Amino acid sequence: MIIIMRKDAAKEEIDKVVQRVEELGFRPHLSQGEERTIIGVIGDERRLEPHLFERMEGVERTVRILRPFKLASRDFHPQDTVISLNGLRIGDRKVVVMAGPCAVESREQLLQTARAVKAAGAHILRGGAFKPRTSPYSFQGLGLRGLELLAEAKAETGLPVVTEVMSPQEVPLVARYADILQIGTRNMQNYRLLEAVGQTSKPVLLKRGLMSTIEELLMAAEYILIQGNHKVMLCERGIRTFETYTRNTLDLSAVPLLKQLTHLPVIVDPSHGTGKWELVGPMAKAAIAAGSDGLLIEVHPRPEEALSDGGQSLKPDKFAELMEELRRVAEAVGREL
Domain presence at residue 188: yes
Q: Are residues 197 and 314 in the same domain?
A: yes
Q: Are residues 45 and 168 in the same domain?
A: no
| Predicted confidence (pLDDT) at residue 10 exceeds the cutoff of 70 | yes
Say which residue, 282 or 52, is predicted with more confidence.
282
CATH code, 19? 3.30.70.1140
Three-state DSSP class for residue 229: coil
Domain assignment of residue 135, given as a range: 83-332
Q: Are residues 51 and 155 in the same domain?
A: no
| Predicted confidence (pLDDT) at residue 33 exceeds the cutoff of 90 | no
Tell me what the mean pLDDT of segment 299-305 comes to: 96
State pLDDT tens for residues 66-120.
788 989 999 888 889 999 998 999 999 999 999 999 999 999 999 999 999 999 9
Radius of gyration of the chain (CA): 21
Tell me what the mean pLDDT of segment 14-30 comes to: 90
Q: Are 222 and 190 in contact (CB under 8 A)?
A: no
Domain presence at residue 227: yes
Q: Are residues 121 and 158 in the same domain?
A: yes
Q: Are residues 51 and 150 in the same domain?
A: no
Q: Are residues 155 and 270 in the same domain?
A: yes
Q: Are residues 53 and 123 in the same domain?
A: no
Q: Are residues 216 and 301 in the same domain?
A: yes
In angstroms, the Cα distances linking 202 to 177, 232, 302 are 11, 9, 32
The pLDDT assigned to 308 comes to 86
Amino acid type, 281: G
List all residues 6 or more positions away from 179 whose beta carbon is below 8 Å from its beta carbon.
Answer: 85, 86, 124, 154, 160, 161, 162, 202, 203
Structural domains of the chain, count: 2
The pLDDT assigned to 272 comes to 96
Q: Are residues 154 and 204 in the same domain?
A: yes
Domain presence at residue 203: yes
The pLDDT assigned to 312 comes to 96
Q: Are residues 36 and 104 in the same domain?
A: no
CATH code, 89? 3.20.20.70
Domain presence at residue 73: no
The pLDDT assigned to 290 comes to 98
State pLDDT tens for residues 153-179.
999 999 999 999 999 999 999 999 999
| Predicted confidence (pLDDT) at residue 29 exceeds the cutoff of 90 | no
Domain presence at residue 272: yes
The pLDDT assigned to 30 comes to 84
- Eight-state DSSP code of residue 266: E
Q: Are residues 181 and 325 in the same domain?
A: yes
Confidence category of residue 42, pLDDT binned at 50, 70, 90: confident
In angstroms, the Cα distances linking 139 to 136, 171, 240 are 8, 21, 23
The pLDDT assigned to 277 comes to 97
Q: Are residues 252 and 212 in the same domain?
A: yes
